Structure 1
């Protein structure tokens, strides 16, 4: 039949995402310091580590996503709390009803997360935000799926799309957030949100790939 990802007992994927943000907190703040307040990594780390204390290893993948999303909305504030909270909540909403997550269902979840982010932040592709990471990640995943690739290969394509999108933010001028006040001077720097989104999507992809099973 193909590869599936079991929802049950896979909170470990979310815990790996939290660990990746924790390990990159200083790096994210350093990137943010070039065009923003320099606190992106600090705020992200605070919220993600709070969520870590509320997530148990044996929980479902979707349940862990819900806890992470809720924690970010309620406890870290700023602009990134609601933004990432929405992303994880949208993923949870699509995945929570599935015992076995297929590549088709995961694409639906990913697209819902992308659309939710764009609605909330009012961001379009090219505005130099995390949308510039998640949008190409979705597109590459979908393209791989349409080419008949298996779930693991689709996740690999998502990862590559996220990386390419993140790197491309160096070429963009910020249209939203604090960096927008720099105008043309924001060009040449990575966007911090796009970078944290890339870390999240690449970690999620690698972690899920290790846990796929044949149906």
Structure 2
């Protein structure tokens, strides 16, 4: 399966729909662990992304992703805007010049997306962040593709791994981000960033 720039635009549109659908949940989670605005901020940011999407089928993959990053940094306050902007811009650099993406290119894109967040946030697995969803997603996608699964099937497995990773943040104490300040009170609460990251992976799988 080849991923076209039209699919990338559809990914962003579907991600916007999922973020909007879950904005209250994301905000509720963030009320305990952060500033209480994660869902509302991301919803606003993805609305801005959708507003800039073009039907130009000649637009390269990196242009689509870079524009998403620019919209987020311009419209989303706080750490989440900067982190997701870094993720999209890193992904854009990784697939620069591509009009379509093979399965290996999608893996490269997802790795770069994760690494953009890791580099800017200096976080690692178990820190109770977005990476707790993205790390297992990338690892699962890599393994599934190596075993010869289709891109669609591999992405669905990655989405399930991301959701499981987000759920696994519940017993953790945060070591990065605003949730650090609540200390032990973070236990028992799912990380909002990991939750939104899992939604983005799910959106990618569903547009396939």
TM-score, reference length from structure 1: 0.89
Moved more, 189-198 or 9-18: 9-18
Residue correspondence of structure 1 range 13-52 to structure 2 within 5 A? 13-52=11-50
Q: Aligned partners of 2:148, 2:161: CA distance in 1, in Å?
A: 17
Alignment partners' CA distance in 2, 1:184 and 1:75: 32
Correspondence for 1:55 among 53, 56, 59: 53
2-structure distance, mates of 1:50, 1:58: 18
RMSD across aligned positions (CA): 1.7
Cα shift at 1:92: 2.0
Greater Cα shift, 5-14 or 101-110: 5-14
TM-superposed CA distance for 1:58, in Å, is 4.0
| TM-score normalised by structure 2 residue count | 0.92
Query: Partner of 2:2: helix, strand, or coil?
Result: strand
SS in 1 for 2:77: coil
Which residue does the alignment assign to 1:92?
92
- Cα deviation, 1:6-64, whole Å, max 9, x if unaligned, reads 23575222111112112211111011112222111111111111222211244547233
Match for residue 12 of structure 1?
10
Unaligned runs of 5+ in 2: none
Quick check: 2:91–2:109 contact (8 Å CA) kept in 1? yes
> CA, structure 1 residues 9+124, in 2 after alignment: closer, same or farther (shift >3 Å)?
closer
1:69-97 per-residue CA deviation (whole Å, 9 max, x = no partner) reads: 11111232311111000111122222342
* Structure 1 runs (4+) greater than 3 angstroms displaced: 57-61
How many residues align? The count is: 206
Segment of structure 1 superposing worse, 141-150 or 189-198: 141-150
